[in-house]
Structure 1
């Protein structure tokens, strides 16, 4: 049955999913390669700043640098991080300290973390090593640093040319490649959240189809093939309903289940919000719950009224499917699926008895 209608639509969806997966994997591989290359480059090819000429090269190329010095000067300057809520300051903390080293009789400022500053304070002597990239001072920052020198007793004329126009943002090679590493982590998380649930749901759907077919899946697919060709087939968006089957062809899920096994179907709308409270469009889903207790959610784009049309059509079939959402039904389904299935089967039996009488 490789050429059956269901197998064709299922393969088409898996092809699209596979392309998306390959795309994700390629980006992850590129980010990892970029991180490894940059890490090796930073570790082995750092520009060692010993002179003003070295500084000028590093400043022009923006390459990773290394500075070794026997003397370190505390500039008595800190960088603070202020947190606020609704425009009101809630907290303030020191995130970095500014120190400096002498390079060709001129101070090169270095921004270091609190931890590194504490380590320096405990270190009595020896060579101090710093790594990172040079960043240009903003005009107000540069003026502030010169004012700090003047406060320390340096004359205004000497302070004017005592500091380099760029400072070193101290960071290890590993810290410098955190951006691609974070990118990899985000993409892997996205794969786990998006791709894995899709795989699991589709495998469950295929398993349910085999159970409903009493192990003879080929016979089920053959019946689907015959019924989709009939003139009275109902098609609306991702949903196709034949005489005996409901077929869903979506990117999230593909299945062909006996429609008599559909216990409950309802519409679900999720309001998207920006920053947690600003409305930004809606996502509409149609949910299908079958007699084995499995539930499938299908996104319906463009026309939300499609879902209402599908629900109305299923209701008109009068097969015993619960149509529409209620809190009581949702609580019953989540609390005790077995009882929900029992109540549904009981309802279907009563409905069929009434239909036979009429």
Structure 2
């Protein structure tokens, strides 16, 4: 997240992302907190926490970093100490969003595949503890990022903008920290979500084949199985969230791996480095899109959330209609 895109595509893309993502995540948080969607409290905890961290990502990364970097480059938020804090918050918000997605995926894996462990793990208490621990560790992990930056310019004795210190590239401690940070986000979460989804799908297919075999032996092969239908609905949300995460993080994941292995330096100005820079920025765009698209996945997979959204959209229309009738 070090570079600030200045092209016209970025200047249009990020404001649109913020204009959609902020109200969408706020609406989902309000709807889920009302607990009128028919979801268990455990799932609701995870979805609310994920929507809250997605909202934080949009505010810190998209609005205060990307949009501000394009349109308000000389505002006070680019004074070096403030800039360093913003960068630490950026990484912390993204880490929290990513690892809460992993936590939700693991919770659903346990609920579907581990019936004995499900009774102990898939509870409201455990969910609240997991969310709290993941969020706390995400912010603690990125505190040291604040000390990695130094001013790029000093204007009127005021340090401005953030550039990584030379020690970040030359000392073993910072090099190790940078590698660990890249492994923890996004490499390890990406691999974990792939594996958890693989084992979940395998378990579901095996369970469905077994149930269909029992139904056939009972001469009820032409009847619908309500248990299979219930199970199908319960995993649509999981695969919607984790599937979109995999697709939207794929380019970012591949680029990070390639840059680390090939040791690409953007300062070289070569065609390869310029191409990788554009690809990496495109990966960031898709990564941040994940925080905007999740509310639409919730609404698309849950009919009661769609109903709440529809009622919310109809309310202002009914209000203005009543006001117009009174005035008339």
Normalised to the residue count of structure 2, the TM-score between the two structures is 0.21
Larger radius of gyration: 1
Structure with greater helix share of residues:
2
Q: Which has the higher contact order (CA 8 A, sep 6+)?
A: 2
TM-score (norm 1): 0.20
